[in-house]
Structure 1
Amino acid sequence: MDTKKQNPVAVLLGLVADSKGEFTEAVIFAIIGVVAGVIPYFAGAKIIVALMNGIRNMDYFGKLCILALAAYICKVIFANASTTISHSATFKTLIHSFKNDFKAL
């Protein structure tokens, strides 16, 4: 009995071949969401440093707060888009896999 062992990575790549673009898009959106999620922390740190240095310019603080809010909104949008895209691609891949498995029966 001569059975060939298949490479698990090759098997997975074969399963996701139809949705590879969607998975790539989901990963890119997730990375953008993570980067956007870090920006409010830097803005907060700049606000703290400015307060400790005695800066009382409300325009400066307002701009940093708006930057933090905009970055947080981008984080939420891109993280949710990434999750939605990856889940839809995963379900499409599972349906395709199940159809192929049932054809083999």
Structure 2
Amino acid sequence: MCNVTFFQHKSCKHVWAIISHPCGPYMDFHTCPTFCGAGGIKKTPGFYKTKSRPCPRCDLGGLYDRRCVRMVEGMGWGMHWGMDPDGGDWAVEVRMGETRRCVIL
């Protein structure tokens, strides 16, 4: 499963995600099953506030590679209680946060 890192620009407050470590060759937001619907438990991603990295929306004018970088419109977290971390067995999931939709757009 690909590892994702989140960044928030200190000036404009936009948040974006990058794939910091792909799980295999040619894996990105379009091809990795982690993001293409095959759920599963993911480890908590890194979250960094930055001034030195350009904001993809403001500083790059929205011209960035969406296979490796995605803007984040909302974030939500949750917990999963069950035997199978991928959701194959009976389990209880509790989602918290502002939204139940995908956080990476």
TM-score, scaled to structure 1: 0.19
TM-score, scaled to structure 2: 0.19
The structure that has the greater radius of gyration is 1
Instruction: Pick the structure with more strand per residue.
Output: 2
Instruction: Pick the structure with more helix per residue.
Output: 1
